[in-house]
Amino acid sequence: MSSVRLLGIAGSQSADSKTRAAVEAALDGTDEAVETDVLHLGEYDLATADGRGIDAYEGDTAAALGKIVDADAYVVGTPVYRASYPGPLKNLLDMVPRGQWQGDVAPLEGAAVGLVATGATRSHYLAIDEQLRPLFAFFGAHTVGSGVYADSEAFADGAVADDEIRARLSLLGRATVELAEAIESGSALSALEPQV
């Protein structure tokens, strides 16, 4: 029975977010024993990152950062705009401490992270490996070997409608939990910190 707390981060601000639907599909694929939660940026009024320590934030920003600190593993989804993730997601991640400054905690260090991206067309599928994976490497996170990209055709009525994409998202959720458990039980995976 898993005790992993898995947080889905939906880096979209739209109310009818395809990204959120994809992240939730990944969380839904996990075992019932996995504690899941969603942080959808569209529901939070976040402050602008300005170098403050994590304890200096209040309101929605403190609540969002608290969810990140309290989680053990993450499924991070982002819409892709102009071949990259949007500013609100970057702003949130700019406030996440790395253990060297902005706070004594480093919630993403050594954590399992599953990656999801959505976009209007298939043209932006490389954003997972070219944009997101290096970003989480900076934090010292362990990303699941393959992510999931879903274009607009994979969705209908606010949900993931493509069976293949839905199955892949479900598998990503389970793989993220498995990686988190392997990190927790392994001495080397849990000890490898960012070098710089």
User: pLDDT 10s digit of each residue in the chain, 196 long?
Assistant: 468 999 999 999 998 899 999 999 999 999 989 999 999 999 999 999 998 888 999 999 999 999 999 999 999 999 998 889 999 999 999 999 987 665 679 999 999 999 999 999 888 889 999 999 999 999 999 999 999 999 999 999 999 999 999 999 999 999 999 999 999 998 888 787 777 7
The gap between the terminal CA atoms of the chain, to the nearest Å, is: 36
CATH 3.40.50.360 corresponds to the domain 5-191: yes
pLDDT given for residue 123 in this prediction: 85
Predicted pLDDT at 102: 56
Q: pTM higher than 0.75, yes or no?
A: yes
CB within 8 A of 59, min separation 6: which ones? 45, 47
Q: What is the DSSP string of the chain?
A: ----EEEEEE----TT-HHHHHHHHHHHTS-TTSEEEEEEGGG--PPPP-S--GGG--HHHHHHHHHHHH-SEEEEEEE-BTTB--HHHHHHHHHS--SSSS-S--TTTT-EEEEEEEESSGGGTTHIIIIIHHHHHHTT-EE-SS-EEEEGGGEETTEE--HHHHHHHHHHHHHHHHHHHHHHH-HHHHH-----
Strand partners, 119: 151
Domain boundaries, the chain: 5-191
Report the Cα 173 to chain-centroid distance in Å: 11
> Residues 2-28: pLDDT tens digits?
689 999 999 999 988 999 999 999 999
What confidence score (pLDDT) does residue 100 get?
Answer: 66
- Per-residue pLDDT at 180: 97
